Amino acid sequence: MSHAFERLKKRSPQKRAINPYVHASGYRFVTIAEELLVDYRQRLLAKAKSLSLRGSLLLGTEGLNMYVSGTDDAVEAFQAYLDTYPCFHEFSLKWSYCKEQPYNRMLVRIKNEIVTMGCDGVCPQNSSAPYVTPEQLKAMLDNKEEFILLDARNDYEVALGTFDGAEVFEMASFREFPDKIQEKKQDWVGKKIVTFCTGGIRCEKAGPYLLAQGFEDVYQLEGGILKYFEHCGSAHYHGECFVFDKRVAVDTDLKETETIQCYACRMPLTKEMQVADLSSMTCPHCGGLPLLGKRVSEGAGLAVAG
């Protein structure tokens, strides 16, 4: 299934001065011949670097998953470049804006999966759960409809925020999702399920997996939490949203928050958890030193490299 295609909206010089960088993310599940991957990688990397973009592109036989940041003109030019590939024509992106470059370098990597589930036979390019738009989900929540709102993200992401009443799993990796579903299979028979994640890509695999397990009434939130914030703000959502770059988290206005990440255990630390002297702070999650990347070894009481 394809998302509505949009070009980057023009911004005034004043807005560009406040937030010089555009963060653009998107994905497409489409079959790409394996023999084309190396050539695609080289060409996409060369173009991105020529535009001074930074970020990461994951490329595989099942499609493309990308997170990049740069100036408005650079991001717009790269989206136009993607248009020259038939498989990436009208490649849909989600936008947010930031004061600093959230990535250190530009990478294009060839992967077996552009989002790792580790489950054979799940092919979103061939089978996908239907979308509900952010507005439709808000209406469902406004009307207190009965359905399972399933968070497909990892535990450290959920710790920062999620939808009110969402079903959450204690999982460190999306690879654990199939096992978690097996644990719920009997309890959820015949129920309506709507999945959501940060930007939507994990739900593209979660949906087909649920359908393959015999669940019939399965949907996914189009564009994920980030698109929901863009269209519906904070309605029915509490907290922040974890993002996989130097910003760490954004609020419901898609603005970077003061949350940092512990370099020892990778858990997010909100402003309320932080102390004035971060260099001596002890992480409430692992007991280690967040800025030094050291955690306390179990039972030893000594700081060791994490």
Catalytic residue among 87, 98, 119, 197: 197
Q: Determine phi and psi for 294, rounding to 5 degrees.
A: -115, 135
Are 288 and 264 spatial neighbours (Cβ–Cβ below 8 Å)?
Answer: yes
2 by DSSP, 3-state: which? coil
* Residue 232 annotated to the active site: no
Gyration radius of the chain's alpha carbons:
20
CA separation for the pair 271, 260 (Å, rounded)? 8
Question: Could you tell me how many helices (H) and strands (E) the chain has, helices first?
Answer: 8, 17
Tokens 């092919």, residue? 123
Residue type, 17: A
75: which residues sit within 8 A by CB, 6+ positions away?
8, 22, 24, 53, 68, 69, 93
Q: What is the DSSP letter of 36?
A: G
Q: Where does residue 277 rank: exposed (0-12), middle (13-18), buried (19+ CB within 10 A)? A: exposed
Q: Which two tokens stand for residue 120?
A: 């054979």
Q: Determine phi and psi for 143, rounding to 5 degrees.
A: -85, 0
Q: Report, as residue numbers or ranges, the catalytic residues.
A: 197
